[in-house]
Structure 1
């Protein structure tokens, strides 16, 4: 993919945090004209040694109101993009397209009482952005953030999640959010073990949440591994929960930029 010079800005890397050997976060400056809706993604470009630019889409972790942009990435062994990205250091330049895009946003739903955010790996990123915005807390009675990883060490941003309801602008909504960590490859304190689809099928997810996944009240956003997205969508179909489209509102929204 290429992009003409008028389509992107050059931003400076402010911070890089290595979480595990394969996971890291990065924070950049934000162009004054860059706008996005919580849940959307931006296309990032890195310049290779030969001068060519590689582009990939990344959901924004940061709030639409933050003065910086933050992204959450996995290192793909031998990957053309992440191999370059993971080598960047504070002060380096990252290209960011001016136009954010994506439809994993709250306007996909016209109603609903309970919001379920189902994520695997770095797919938690758009939900962190949504949870830092005021709208979701005002619209839904309860919010369930389900975050699945392979090993407990990969559970990122837990401090951010834990501190949301202490933020001054969200304190009146304390008690709405339940964080449900899921670890698939080991027993981990405080986490469910098993794939999200298994936890839905055997009832454990709803049991821990104390809430039923129902077409009447539940609205579900899904982001992460493409196979998980497909499998979860098929499972929710058996409960009469359908993809929400502009011409036909439903109960499920997904992001397919992988």
Structure 2
């Protein structure tokens, strides 16, 4: 089922990376879930999934997207301006949510959020709610991009780091030097111990939950490294420490 949405604001982070704020009436959702956006009618409907960046109590939906060269939908979304209409799925979906984690005390004291590119969106949605701050003593967002200009929402995340002692931001910028950022990919930072040394925290089975979202290679490599450390995938029938979502 689809509802009509209207673009009420947009922000261009780079010539390809952009955010849209959309006014649309959809069912209540949980931070970390995604919606589908579409242009065109039912007969020629072209739809893609986009994680929601906004908190559930926000009046508008917000998505972070990149216009993929030769993409069928994303370049058209990038062309939208304030007042333009599009179709939005009436309900959000997805299990990359905090309520899917084991209940305390099994959930651990630390939440590690590993993201690449636009997959930072669901974590920003979570951080805009009260829930993670109530559940965990330490929140670490590890945000990986190729170039520093691709770090969307950086001002908001930096402000959060200054105002919330529980929170720290670890950046991974791999194609150029960026002050205060790791110059290696997220899996390499895990494997070498760099991530733990920079954060001053240990990533252990006993007191950590890890949520991984983004590039399938990053997700797969990080998962392998964490499994080697003894962490286990989080399943409803068998609670563990690793929750993941591939972004394409």
Query: TM-score normalised to the size of structure 1?
Result: 0.91
CA–CA distance in structure 1, aligned partners of residues 45 and 179 of structure 2: 43
Q: Take 1:164 and 1:134, find their aligned partners in 2: how far apart are those partners?
A: 13
- Which residue in 1 is equivalent to 2:59? 67
Partner of 1:102: 94
Q: Give the drift of 1:165.
A: 6.6
| Structure-2 residue corresponding to 1:159 | 155
State whether residues 45 and 53 of structure 1, in contact with CA within 8 Å, keep that contact through their aligned partners in structure 2. yes
What SS does the corresponding residue of 1:221 show, helix, strand or coil? strand
How far residue 257 of structure 1 moved from its aligned partner, in angstroms, is 5.2
| Alpha carbons 1:115, 1:142 under 8 Å: kept | yes
Taking a change above 3 Å as real, the CA distance of residues 257 and 224 of structure 1, as seen in their structure-2 partners, is closer
Moved over 6 A (4+): none
**Cα deviation code 1:9-43 (max 9, x no counterpart):** 10100112111122111100131x52110001111
Q: Does 1:81 align with 2:73?
A: yes
CA contact (8 A) 1:102 1:255 kept: no
Structure 2 SS opposite 1:9: strand
**Any unmatched runs of 5+ in structure 2?**
none
Task: Give, in angstroms, the shift of residue 160 of structure 1.
Answer: 1.7
Aligned to 1:30, which of 16, 21, 24?
Answer: 24
CA contact 1:184–1:193 (8 Å) conserved in 2:
yes
Q: Which residue of 2 aligns with 1:210?
A: 200
1:103-152 deviation per Cα after TM superposition (whole angstroms, max 9, x unaligned): 11112222211000000000100000000010100000000000000011
CA distance in 2, matches of 1:127, 1:73: 15
1:252 to 216, 234, 242: 242
> Over aligned residues, Cα RMSD in angstroms?
1.6
- What is the SS of the residue equivalent to 2:246? coil
1:191 aligned partner: 181
Task: Give SS of 1:181's match.
Answer: strand
Counterpart residue number, 1:113: 109
Q: Which residue of 1 aligns with 2:14?
A: 20
Task: Provide the secondary structure at the position in 1 that maps to 2:73.
Answer: helix
Partners of 1:132 and 1:90 lie apart in 2 by 24
Q: CA deviation at 1:52?
A: 2.5
Unaligned runs of 5+ in 1: 1-6
Other-structure match for 1:43: 36
Residue 176 of structure 1, CA deviation: 0.2
CA distance in 2, matches of 1:257, 1:200: 20
SS at match of 1:85: helix
TM-score where L is the length of structure 2? 0.94
For the structure 1 residues 165 and 204, does the alpha-carbon distance in structure 2 shift closer, same or farther, using more than 3 Å as the test?
Answer: closer
Structure 2 contact 24–88 (Cα < 8 Å) conserved: no
**Across the two proteins, how many residue pairs are aligned to each other?**
244
Q: Match of 1:200? A: 190
Q: Which residue matches 2:118? A: 122
